[in-house]
Structure 1
Amino acid sequence: MPAPWAEPEYNPSSKELLDRIVEVIGDASISSKDVQIKNVSKWVINEVVAERYHDGEDVFCLGDAVHRHPPVNGLGSNTCIQDAYNLAWKIALVEQGKAQRSLLDSYTTERQPVGQTVISRANQGLRDHDPIWDAIGRKEPTLEGRQAAWAELSEGSERGAARRERLRKAVDWTAHALMAVGVEMNQRYDSRAIYLADEEGPRPELPEDPILHYQISTYPGQRLPHAWINTRNPGKQLSTQDLAGKGRFCLIMGHGGERWREALKRVGEELGVRTVSWTVGWGLDYEDVYGDWTRRREVRDAGCVLLRPDRFVAWRAMDMVEDCEGKLRTVFRHMLGLDNPPPREDGHL
């Protein structure tokens, strides 16, 4: 049975609050004369995620409406903003008549698993502190037991060494809450808004510890990898992240990939979607000053990486293809749902 103070309807008396303060401090001499309770507020730990974020019609939910958890890891506001970033460009294209409503179905498909992961991680971050409290004796039921455990940490004995080792390991493990780059960055989308037909193999396996470590990849459905770039005459340092977003589909290519640029322009004009393209490499639009983009792009010089307006990889080509315009048209029509339009009201396609 949970402790009574874990229940939202529990209203402790002043004496119960004082008893709890005495228990925490460990000083039985404390009385109501020493403590003034000015206000009592409640905080209920949430561990809730919605099964779907979209009702199939015109209602879309995001943020705390679909995922609620404690602020451990600090993932709440970030996840809310990411929900909006995922949804906004899709609604815009559908409202403008440039995409079918099937594009909106990808919102729940892509974001609900992220919400589920964040909920689990945030609450596990709370639980990850339990071994610390145990190692310092905080979970001992009596004052004497807590004092004895605390004193043990200073002992030059095997018992003291074992307790100090438990504490060290417990503190080290909190890196999963404080430095959890993996849980923040290893988001992987798999929906119709991602084009996988040209991939020759499965999605790469996540790192051994996907909470701590980030898997950098341009595999479709993953985040655009960051790499520092600059102009040939060095100016303000930029990230590859700065090339994408801003409501546009972005194509990044290298030497020998220039044909992709004109193909993207024609397809974008044909479909009425905003596009931008950049070449990255020696003497091109941007210089790969540290070689990081070359190491992380996973495509050849003449290949390309197509990014959605939310900076997730939509599709990539390992090398130049003969009909690059036709290939881009196929990719865009698939993502926007234009390759499978709904039947007209008169029953015709």
Structure 2
Amino acid sequence: MYQTDVLIIGAGPTGSTTALALANSGVRCHIVSRGNWMADSPRAHITNQRANEVFRDLGVSDDVARYASPWELMGDTTFTTSLAGPELIRMRTWGTGDDRRGDYLRASPCGMVDIIQPLLEPILFQKAAEKGATFAFNTEYVGHEQDADGVTATLRDRLDGREFAVRARYMVGADGARSSVVEHLGLPIEGRMARAGTVYTIFNADLSRYSKHRPSILNWIVTPDASFGEIGMGLLRAVRPWTQWIAGWGFDINKGDPDLSESNVREKIRILIGDPAIEPDIVRTSVWYINQAYATQYSKERVLCGGDAVHRHPPSSGLGNNTCVQDGHNLGWKLAYVVKGWAGPKLLESYSQERAPVGKQVVLRANQSRLDYAPLNACFRVPGAENPVAAGIVRFRDPGPEGVAARKAAQAALDLKQTEFNAQGVEMNQRYESSAVVPDEGDGPEEWRRDRDLYNQPTTRPGAKIPHAWLVGPDGKRMSTLDVTGKGLFTVVTGLAGTAWTEAVRRIDLPFLRIVVTGSPDAQDLYCEWQRVREIEEAGALLVRPDGVVAWRDKAGTSDSAEAEKRLSAAIRAVLDLPNLSAIPRETRRAPATSGDTPLFA
């Protein structure tokens, strides 16, 4: 007898997002965490547009915005001799610059925000619990066994030491970078753990006078008074603008543990701030290590893993938490469909096929971003000088030829850092190739019109996320194409000329399938934005998955409803691993939308 449908090990961003997606679909899930509560340190914080789109789909975007630092406060990234001292250069980051903001606004109905893990995780977790997910803290995963029908996990109550078993149809390993689930599964891991080290100190101090006029989440400190490891700079990161901060600096792991004495920590913070009159209130000091490792396979049979358990990397580029959330979003709907009998087991294989390449890309990108500080460091250093950094700063301000060359090099070095701080393409241009995507016949590789890492490229090619375009509802208010798709359902998107698809959806009559007719009173394309980006004829159709990814498209369309039904049915069967659609349970069947219905609630 199953005690739950899905057992989730770990209540972090991946575990809680998965739970929320399952709970929204009415699937039983149980979350266990070895801790007493959520994350207790402000680790991940940068939240990009794609993650915010996931939050929008799951119904928590307003809650996230309420507790986050808004986009405009993320602002510039500074490179300065200390927070109080002379600046060297600034960089417009996270899409806030005049040259990039339009790209970000066109790409998504969501901007970026900065929200720390101790604030984000409870939002996801609480909403999942409200929707029916059950949970247990102070509960440790011990091991598991699989059989043809399910998973039996052994858990331990950390308060009394009692061990007990939980039976589930499936299990999710979201237990972090030292994942026991991944270890027990023997998932293949490539790369290297702990290749460099960093000290992080959380402290309270009102530094408004140095930050309020130049809002910046990240401040890099170039100073001759301290050595700062691999990146070569110290960091002051705003946790709660502008009164709570993290001071960060690297250390050489080959020389043993760093000096974490209070006197040394205070001296480092003093150097970074540059104002001896400020006495920081130190909250906590910790050490973490730079990992460069990723799993090439995310699952075995009925156990699937995600988040830091399968992609382990530094916070550079701000990709970690965002990737964890997207893992959970991808996995949640697939587990729900299989549990409900709406899909065959092969659908779950597509999770690893789709997310493992993304995890690898993120790990390599984050580590490369750290290496890409080397050209900037070279601008502020004179090799062979008694104090290379002091000499480099003097040279950087020199009006002579060497100073001119250093400042010119700084421009090129900042251009290179665009791939960390304005890498919208890395965040938004994911393309899936899997059994849950039906590629266009005869189409060659996608051609990238601009730098793939820097710029978002909207497309309706199968495997890509449906492009954002503003539509207008019957109340006259704007809504995104992302708002009329997703929400746990498959959506057929067509135009007024696609009447055959409306009839096909009515005939197929599936509990999870709806249709949106752009141009109808329910989804007017008044700006002609959708017409510009849809890449199909008005009579054509897109089949959009619950995670917003285009699963299949028919570019030209057909006027024959029987032919439309045949094509659409074949696509759904292929994506969901179903030999025939009659096998789908009928008791949860609901009436699909037609062109006269309100698509959002169909």
| TM-score interval for Structure 1 and Structure 2 normalised by the shorter chain | 0.7 to 0.9
Pair 1:136 & 2:373 matched: no
Kindly state the Cα deviation for residue 316 of structure 1 after the two structures are TM-superposed: 0.7
Structure 2 residue aligned with 1:263: 504
Structure 2 residue aligned with 1:184: 427
Structure 2 residue aligned with 1:245: 486
Structure 1 residue aligned with 2:292: 47
After TM superposition, the score normalised by the length of structure 2 is 0.50
Kindly state the Cα deviation for residue 145 of structure 1 after the two structures are TM-superposed: 3.1
Structure 2 residue aligned with 1:108: 352
After TM superposition, the score normalised by the length of structure 1 is 0.84
Distance 1:326 1:148 in 2: 73
Alpha-carbon distance change, 234 to 95 in structure 1, aligned in 2, over 3 angstroms: closer
Kindly state the Cα deviation for residue 148 of structure 1 after the two structures are TM-superposed: 2.4
Q: Amino acid of the residue matched to residue 554 of structure 2?
A: A
Kindly state the Cα deviation for residue 125 of structure 1 after the two structures are TM-superposed: 1.5
Alpha-carbon distance change, 340 to 126 in structure 1, aligned in 2, over 3 angstroms: farther
Pair 1:215 & 2:453 matched: no
Structure 2 residue aligned with 1:302: 539
Structure 2 residue aligned with 1:274: 512
Q: Amino acid of the residue matched to residue 389 of structure 2?
A: R
Pair 1:7 & 2:217 matched: no
Distance 1:308 1:144 in 2: 58
Distance 1:72 1:80 in 2: 15
Alpha-carbon distance change, 212 to 224 in structure 1, aligned in 2, over 3 angstroms: same
Structure 2 residue aligned with 1:84: 328
Structure 2 residue aligned with 1:28: none
Q: Amino acid of the residue matched to residue 308 of structure 1?
A: R
Q: Amino acid of the residue matched to residue 331 of structure 1?
A: A
SS in 2 for 1:45: strand
Check whether the contact 2:260–2:285 (CA below 8 A) recurs between aligned residues. Answer: no
Check whether the contact 1:265–1:275 (CA below 8 A) recurs between aligned residues. Answer: no
For each residue in 1:109-168, what CA deviation from the matched residue of structure 2 results, as whole angstroms up to 9, or x when unmatched?
00000111111111112122221121011x746543332221112222222111110112
Structure 2 residue aligned with 1:29: none
Structure 1 residue aligned with 2:495: 254
Q: Amino acid of the residue matched to residue 491 of structure 2?
A: C
Structure 2 residue aligned with 1:317: 554
Distance 2:294 2:449 in 1: 25
SS in 2 for 1:326: helix
Q: 1:161 aligns with which of 404, 418, 441?
A: 404
Q: Amino acid of the residue matched to residue 496 of structure 2?
A: H
SS in 1 for 2:338: helix
- Superposed CA RMSD: 3.2
List alignment gaps of at least 5 residues for structure 1.
26-35, 342-349
Distance 1:58 1:176 in 2: 37
SS in 2 for 1:218: coil
Q: Amino acid of the residue matched to residue 93 of structure 1?
A: Y
Check whether the contact 2:385–2:391 (CA below 8 A) recurs between aligned residues. Answer: no
For each residue in 1:176-210, what CA deviation from the matched residue of structure 2 results, as whole angstroms up to 9, or x when unmatched?
111111001111111111112x4331241234421
Structure 2 residue aligned with 1:31: none
Distance 1:268 1:200 in 2: 30
Q: Amino acid of the residue matched to residue 286 of structure 1?
A: A
Alpha-carbon distance change, 224 to 58 in structure 1, aligned in 2, over 3 angstroms: same
List alignment gaps of at least 5 residues for structure 2.
1-194, 197-228, 230-249, 272-280, 582-602
Distance 1:256 1:237 in 2: 22
Kindly state the Cα deviation for residue 262 of structure 1 after the two structures are TM-superposed: 2.3
SS in 2 for 1:173: helix
Check whether the contact 1:207–1:213 (CA below 8 A) recurs between aligned residues. Answer: no
The structure having more radius of gyration, on CA atoms, is 1
Higher helix share: 1
For each residue in 1:250-289, what CA deviation from the matched residue of structure 2 results, as whole angstroms up to 9, or x when unmatched?
11111210220221232243xxx411111112x5432212
Check whether the contact 2:539–2:557 (CA below 8 A) recurs between aligned residues. Answer: yes
Distance 2:551 2:294 in 1: 26
Check whether the contact 1:186–1:222 (CA below 8 A) recurs between aligned residues. Answer: yes
Check whether the contact 2:470–2:481 (CA below 8 A) recurs between aligned residues. Answer: yes
Q: Amino acid of the residue matched to residue 303 of structure 2?
A: V
Kindly state the Cα deviation for residue 106 of structure 1 after the two structures are TM-superposed: 0.5
Pair 1:326 & 2:580 matched: no
Kindly state the Cα deviation for residue 213 of structure 1 after the two structures are TM-superposed: 1.2
Aligned positions of 1:199-238 closer than 5 A: 199-231=441-473, 235-238=476-479
Alpha-carbon distance change, 141 to 42 in structure 1, aligned in 2, over 3 angstroms: farther
Matched residue count: 325
Pair 1:117 & 2:361 matched: yes
SS in 2 for 1:77: helix
Distance 2:283 2:512 in 1: 57
SS in 2 for 1:42: strand
Check whether the contact 1:299–1:317 (CA below 8 A) recurs between aligned residues. Answer: yes
Check whether the contact 2:485–2:546 (CA below 8 A) recurs between aligned residues. Answer: yes
Distance 1:9 1:304 in 2: 61
Distance 2:450 2:570 in 1: 36
Distance 1:12 1:99 in 2: 52
Distance 1:192 1:251 in 2: 19
Q: Amino acid of the residue matched to residue 326 of structure 1?
A: K
Distance 1:337 1:13 in 2: 56
Alpha-carbon distance change, 167 to 268 in structure 1, aligned in 2, over 3 angstroms: same
Kindly state the Cα deviation for residue 37 of structure 1 after the two structures are TM-superposed: 10
Distance 1:305 1:38 in 2: 52
Q: 2:391 aligns with which of 148, 159, 164?
A: 148
Distance 1:59 1:219 in 2: 30
Structure 2 residue aligned with 1:286: 523
Moved more, 68-77 or 58-67: 68-77
Structure 2 residue aligned with 1:173: 416
Q: Amino acid of the residue matched to residue 516 of structure 2?
A: W
Q: Amino acid of the residue matched to residue 154 of structure 1?
A: R
